[in-house]
Structure 1
Amino acid sequence: MKTLTILKTTIAVLFFQQTFSQEAKKETASPQYTIENCVNHFELEKATKTKVGYQYWFANKDFTQENTLKMSIVEPGKSTHAPHHHPEEEFFYILEGTAEFFLDGKTVTAGPNTSFYCPPNAEHGISNAGKTDLKYLVIKKDLR
């Protein structure tokens, strides 16, 4: 009987801890949205330096409900990483420069005002095929 009481108490404590932990995560995971933090103007000094240029997150997975928006700036002749794949679909939108898109073994070169859609799990990549910096947006759904 005493063992059953201890077991019930342990289960109740574990349940309380799990519930409290989940509630704490919910509270910290939901940012307060205001006009001040929902409008984001690019500032180079807030960008992250990479090996091939810069990245600037307009909206990351810690702020949004499920989508991210990032601007990448890549030096001529370089790419942020080799072709790869992941379960999330992804959009690229060229702002400036010349991009070479890679999708499942084929490539296309394009300039500003061109979008590139990468379906889920497709091997894809983007590189700077021009003589000036390549500036593009990356829009991706966060699969939490």
Structure 2
Amino acid sequence: MKTSAVKIVIVTLMMQQSIQSQETKKETVSAENKYTIENCVNHFELQKATKTKVGYQYWFADKDFTQENTLKMSIVEPGKSTHAPHHHIEEELFYILEGKAQFYLDGKTVIAGPNTSFYCPSNVEHGISNVGDTNLKYLVIKKDLK
């Protein structure tokens, strides 16, 4: 068999193996991410929440279950914030459920209560803190690009 014919056979075999590997991977991913009514409904349970330094957080949906979208509820004690103002590539949307929040965006602040949303564009410095005398409870929605 000529050298060029051997190369063609080898490349063909490699391509077939790659295709089979990709098909196996797709089947594995599909089996792992089988969505059912039971795992697509998530009711808040305090005992499943994660304690933080300033309160706690509860992931309704994380990027490993969804297609990189996240939905988290944060509860922050009076006078505290989850972290200092920061920025990141992902845009975020906050929705205030309870309490009084101070929202910082690009050098300016606003204070608002329940049924208010705050939008953070990509790479803009932002932060949220509890300026009330009760717990601040809010949702954080973003698509995780990491």
Instruction: Indicate the residue corresponding to 1:32 in structure 2.
Output: 34
Alpha-carbon distance between aligned partners in 2 of 1:130 and 1:74, rounded to the nearest angstrom: 10
Alpha-carbon distance between aligned partners in 2 of 1:73 and 1:47, rounded to the nearest angstrom: 10
Partner of 1:69: helix, strand, or coil? strand
1:55 Cα deviation from its structure 2 partner: 0.5
Q: 5+ unaligned residues in a row in structure 1: which ranges?
A: none
1:67 Cα deviation from its structure 2 partner: 1.3
Alpha-carbon distance between aligned partners in 2 of 1:54 and 1:96, rounded to the nearest angstrom: 14
Q: Describe the superposition over 1:4-37 as per-residue Cα deviations: whole angstroms up to 9, x where unpaired.
A: x8xx97xx77x95897389537724751111111
Question: Are the structure 2 counterparts of residues 74 and 26 from structure 1 closer, same or farther at C-alpha, using a change threshold of 3 Å?
Answer: farther
**2:21 partner amino acid:** F
Q: Which has the larger radius of gyration?
A: 2
Q: Describe the superposition over 1:33-66 as per-residue Cα deviations: whole angstroms up to 9, x where unpaired.
A: 1111111100000000001001000000001113
Question: Are the structure 2 counterparts of residues 100 and 140 from structure 1 closer, same or farther at C-alpha, using a change threshold of 3 Å?
Answer: same
Q: Describe the superposition over 1:85-105 as per-residue Cα deviations: whole angstroms up to 9, x where unpaired.
A: 011110000000000000001
Instruction: Indicate the residue corresponding to 2:3 in structure 1.
Output: none
Once structures 1 and 2 are overlaid, which stretch shifts more, 39-48 or 15-24? 15-24
Q: 5+ unaligned residues in a row in structure 2: which ranges?
A: 1-5
- Percentage of matched positions with identical amino acids: 73
Partner of 1:143: helix, strand, or coil? coil
Alpha-carbon distance between aligned partners in 2 of 1:17 and 1:93, rounded to the nearest angstrom: 45
Partner of 1:54: helix, strand, or coil? strand
Instruction: Indicate the residue corresponding to 1:136 in structure 2.
Output: 138
Instruction: Indicate the residue corresponding to 1:43 in structure 2.
Output: 45
**1:117 partner amino acid:** Y
Q: Does 1:20 pair with 2:21? A: yes
TM-score by length of 2: 0.82
**1:130 partner amino acid:** G
Query: What do you get for the CA RMSD once the two structures are aligned?
Result: 2.6
* 1:1-144 equivalence runs, <5 A: 16=17, 20=21, 23-24=24-25, 27-28=28-29, 31-144=33-146
